[in-house]
Structures are given as C-alpha cells and as structure tokens.
Amino acid sequence: MHRIWTAADGTSVVIRPIAPSDLSLTEKFDSELSPQSKYRRLLSDRRLSSAELRRFTRIDPRREIALIGVVGDPGDLKQVGVARCVDDVADESAEFAIVVSDDWQQRGLGAVLLSDLIDAARLHGVRRMEAITMADNGGMLKLARRLGFSAQPHPGEAKLIELALSLV
C-alpha cells in the first residue's frame, strides 16, 4: 500500500510501509521528537537504542505492519509520522503504537496513519487492536475515540488508559 494524503496546507504526504532503507529517516525523526512526544510514545523516559530503531525498519511481515508518512522531494525526504502494530499470535490481537513529529501534530496525520493501519490490520486478519496510553494524553484519546476505540482505565495504574478496537 502506497498512497498520497494531502494536508490542509497542500503538502503531500506519502503514506507507505516502512522499509530497511528508511533507517536514516527514522533515526532523524526519532532524534527530533520533543521529550514529551518521546515520553508519550514509550510511556517512559527511556530512549530507543540504535538496534531498536534498526529493528523498527526491518519488520517481520508475518506479524508486523508499520506505515510511515514521508514528505519532501527525493534526496530531501523527511519522515513525519509512523504507526505500527505487532500481532500477538496467541490471542489474535495486535498492540499498536503511533507517533507524529511535533510540527505535524494536530494536522490530521495521526488520524490518517491510524485508520490506514486499522485497514491494513483487518486485511491481515487481526481481530482486535489495543494500546495503552497516558490518561492525560488528550490528543491520543480524542484520536482513538474518533476511530471507534473504547477507552477504559488500566486496572493496575490510574495514570494509564487501555484502548481497544474490535476489527471483526
């Protein structure tokens, strides 16, 4: 799947599966995220290692889907977002994660990436998508609710919310 989404300001964003050749784009994207976006993505101050970033570009297509948003011309490309999910074969559910670069947040890209990820996961046979987010992450909660996810308090941690969407 490879498509162009046009933002409100007319910028074309290519939405496509991630590839191993995207490592340098991914490293730059990650390094430029604000501390808050990094924290909200991983639910901790932990930094992604080089090995993890490499792994993120070399997905296992049998159980992972990762879509990135890219802007710019060939030779000057910039990653502006990524949404991924990993299938848990044991219960046919998939854990998803999404992050949009700070200067692209609240411009509609998160909704595009997550709805495309949901479509791809459904085609892949995933029956349920899940994630855990922070209770004060208003943007993620609004986005998830808009796409039909339920949002329930995490049983063990008051600061967290469990998001879930049935795809069947």
Ligand X SMILES: CC(C)(COP(=O)(O)OP(=O)(O)OC[C@H]1O[C@@H](n2cnc3c(N)ncnc32)[C@H](O)[C@@H]1OP(=O)(O)O)[C@@H](O)C(=O)NCCC(=O)NCCS
Positions in the binding site for ligand X (CB under 6 A): 37, 40-41, 98-100, 105-111, 131, 133, 137-140, 142-143, 146
Q: Tokens 């490592």 map to which residue? A: 23
Tell the smallest beta-carbon distance from residue 48 to ligand X (Å): 13
41: amino acid identity, one letter: R
Q: For ligand X, give the closer residue by CB, 41 or 57.
A: 41
Least CB distance to ligand X at residue 25 (A)? 16
Would you say 77 and 25 are in contact if contact means Cβ atoms under 8 Å apart?
Answer: yes
Q: How far is the CB of 135 from ligand X (least distance, A)?
A: 11
Q: Quickly tell me which residue has 């080089």 as its tokens.
A: 50
Which residue has the closest beta carbon to ligand X?
110
Min CB(115)–ligand X separation in Å: 9
For 42, the 3-state DSSP assignment is helix
Residue closer to ligand X (CB basis): 67 or 143: 143
User: Among candidates 97, 100, 90, which has minimal Cα distance to 129?
Assistant: 97
Q: Which CB, 41 or 84, lies closer to ligand X? A: 41
By beta-carbon proximity to ligand X, the closer residue of 110 and 167 is: 110
* The residue to which tokens 């639910």 are assigned: 43
Integer Cα distance of 30 and 62 in angstroms = 25
- Tokens representing 64 are 């992972």
